[in-house]
Amino acid sequence: MSISKHITELLYNHNCVIVPGFGAFLTKNIAASRNNDVFSPPKKTIAFNSMLKENDGLLANKISATDGISYKAALKKIKKDIKTLASSLNVGEVEIDNIGILRLNDEKKIQFQPNPNINFDSKSYGLESFIRTPRKTSSSEEKVKKLSIPDYAIRYAAIIILLIGIGSISYNSFDEFRYLQKAESLANAQKKILENVQTATFDLGEYAKISIPIKQNIIPVKSSSIYYSVIAGSFRSMENANKKLKSLITLGYQASFTSVNPKGLHRVAYARLKNRNEAVNLISRIKKDKGNDAWLLIEK
């Protein structure tokens, strides 16, 4: 059958190849499989359907392009091969190279048996089934040598590990306690300074009235000390304000109290700065990096 090579080449790239007036060869995908110790790669097997006989032009165009003949001449060649194949089937079975075996049953219908050695899955080209051979274990590997360690060595090792663990935990706990104590002392000092400033009174005792002749107007000197405070929050409870101050100091901020606002709330600042740009930059970093809120208070 001279057209068999064209059918074979088409089956690698098409799921259906119709032989006009005879039938169609169909491919079916089968996944990789394992049967006991036999492993098989993915493949495409072939089936035959004698009901699909209508010419779709695929095979004829392939023959025309490959053999350099016209489309009409390709159809004639197919028709001639089919006539020869039908005559051979009336005598016995016919084997088509690399495709399979065709035969007629008692009802004169075509039966097809695919060639099991051909895999039409181009992605599995070169892959073959293989058998996994059980690994033989040598006698030397079967013998496991047990390492003997004296009991007293195990006890000493356990005691040393325990002492190292306790020492590490104690050092870390002491270091953390010392840091928190430092933060609490600084917060208490800030609180004390603010209370002293807010409640300070000056007792000058009794003083005599002095009459000073004024020859010219005295212009009061304004304080040039302006602070740009980055406020973290305002609290009615002094206890809550202290907690906030301690947490900011623990985070590394130069936190402090500012003046009490007109509503009697205690303000806690991330820092009190003398440069406005530094304060604005600090607010940007707090909002961008930490996602916290902060606002600017100008203290004169």
Last residue of a domain, one of 131, 151, 183: 131
- Report pLDDT digits (tens) over 285-298: 998 887 888 999 98
- Cα–Cα nearest to 186, from 244, 266, 246: 246
**H/E element holding 139?**
helix 139-142
**160 falls within a domain:** no
Max CA pair span of the chain = 149
CATH number at residue 248: 3.30.70.1070
Token pair 């002749």 is found at 213
Structural domain count, the chain: 2
Report if residue 184 sits inside a domain: no
CB atoms within 10 A of CB 124: 15
Span 203-251, pLDDT tens digits: 444 444 445 444 444 334 444 578 899 999 999 999 999 999 999 999 9
Same domain, 127 and 18: yes
Angle at 259 between CA 187 and CA 243, to 5 degrees: 30
**Structure tokens given for 97:** 């190279």
Q: Of the candidates 131, 156, 181, which is a domain's last residue? A: 131
Does residue 161 lie in a domain region?
no
Q: Are residues 127 and 237 in the same domain?
A: no
Range of the domain at 72: 4-131
Say yes or no to pLDDT of 118 above 90.
no
- The percent of residues above 70 in pLDDT, for the chain, comes to 72
CB 42 within 8 A of CB 30: yes
CA distance 246 to 228: 21
Sign (positive or negative) of CA dihedral 179, 184, 189, 190: positive
Q: Let me know if residue 193 belongs to a domain.
A: no
Whether residue 213 is contained in a domain is answered as no
Q: Do residues 127 and 231 both lie within one domain?
A: no
Last residue of a domain, one of 131, 162, 193: 131
Exposed/middle/buried for residue 87 (C-beta within 10 Å: 0-12, 13-18, 19+): exposed
**Is 205 a member of any domain?**
no
Q: Is residue 188 part of a domain?
A: no
CA distances, 293 to each of 103, 200, 224, 269 (Å): 86, 33, 29, 12
Instruction: Work out the pLDDT band at 273, boundaries 50, 70, 90.
Output: very high
Q: What is the pLDDT of residues 28-65, one digit of tens each?
A: 888 888 887 787 888 888 999 988 989 999 999 989 99
Same domain, 122 and 239: no
The vertex-289 CA angle with 283 and 292, nearest 5°, equals 60
Q: Which one has a higher pLDDT value, 84 or 175? A: 84
Show the beta-strand stretches assigned E in 116-252: 130-131, 227-235
145 located within any domain: no
* Strand ranges in the chain using DSSP code E only, listed in sequence order: 16-19, 23-30, 33-35, 38-40, 43-49, 94-96, 100-104, 110-114, 130-131, 227-235, 256-257, 266-273, 295-299
pTM assigned to the model = 0.42
Torsion of CA 112, 114, 115, 120, to 10 degrees: 140
